[in-house]
A and B are shown apart, each in its own frame.
Chain A
Amino acid sequence: MQFLETINTALKAIAANKVRSILTMLGVIIGVFAVVTLISLGKGVQNYITDQFNELGSNLLFISPGTGDFGGDPADSFARNKLSEKHIKLIEENVPAIDLISAYYVASENSRFKTNTFLSEIIGVSYVGNKMFNYELEKGRFFTKSEEKNQAKVMVIGPNVAKNLFSNQNAIGERVDLLGDKYEVIGIFKEKGSNFDDQVILPYTSMENTLDLKNFSSIVLKVKNGYESGFVMKQVDLALFQDLDPDEFQVLSQADILKSIQSILQLLTVALSAIAGISLLVGGIGIMNIMLVSVTERIREIGLRKALGATPFNIALQFLVEAVILSVGGGVVGLMFGALATLFAQTFLRAEMTLSAILLAFVFSAGVGIVFGTYPAIKASKKDPIEALRYE
Chain B
Amino acid sequence: MPLIDAQNLYKIYDIGGTKINAVNGISLSIEDGEFISIVGKSGSGKSTLMHILGLLDTPTSGVLKLNGQEVSTLTENKLAKIRNSQIGFVFQSFNLLPRTTAIDNIILPLKYSSIPSSEWQGRAEKMLELVDLTERKLNKSNELSGGQKQRVAIARALVTDPSVIFADEPTGNLDSKTGEEIVELFRTLNDKGKTIVIVTHDADLAKVAKRVITIKDGVLI
A-to-B contact residues, CB < 8 Å: 1-2, 5, 12, 16, 300-301, 303-314, 385-386, 389
Contacts and interface: CB of A to CB of B under 8 A. Distances in A.
Nearest to B99: A16
B14 to A, nearest CB: 15
B113 interface: yes
Nearest to B77: A311
Nearest to A8: B111
A306 B97 CA distance: 13
26 contacts: A1-B112, A2-B117, A5-B111, A12-B100, A16-B99, A301-B97, A303-B95, A304-B95, A306-B56, A306-B80, A308-B84, A308-B89, A308-B112, A308-B156, A309-B81, A309-B85, A309-B112, A309-B160, A311-B77, A312-B76, A312-B77, A314-B80, A314-B112, A386-B51, A389-B56, A389-B91
B191 interface: no
B181 interface: no
A345 B147 CA distance: 62
Interface in B82-97: 83-85, 89, 91, 95, 97
Contacts of B54: 307
B114 to A, nearest CB: 10
Interface string B47-72: 00001001011000000000000000
B7 to A, nearest CB: 22
Interface in B138-196: 156, 160
Nearest to B86: A309
A11 B99 CA distance: 13
Contacts of A305: 108, 112
A304 B51 CA distance: 13
A313 to B, nearest CB: 7
Among A301, A304, A310, max chain B CB count under 10 A is at A304
A309 B117 contact: no
Contact of B111 (A1, A303, A304, A307): A1
A309 B95 contact: no
Which of B97, B100, B117, B160 has most A Cβ within 10 Å? B97
Contacts of A389: 56, 91, 95
Contact of B83 (A300, A307, A312): A307
Contact of A311 (B76, B85, B99, B109): B76
Nearest to A4: B117
B99 A309 contact: no
B215 to A, nearest CB: 18
Nearest to A2: B117
A309 B77 contact: no
Contacts of A306: 56, 80, 83
A385 B50 CA distance: 13
Contacts of B80: 306, 309-312, 314
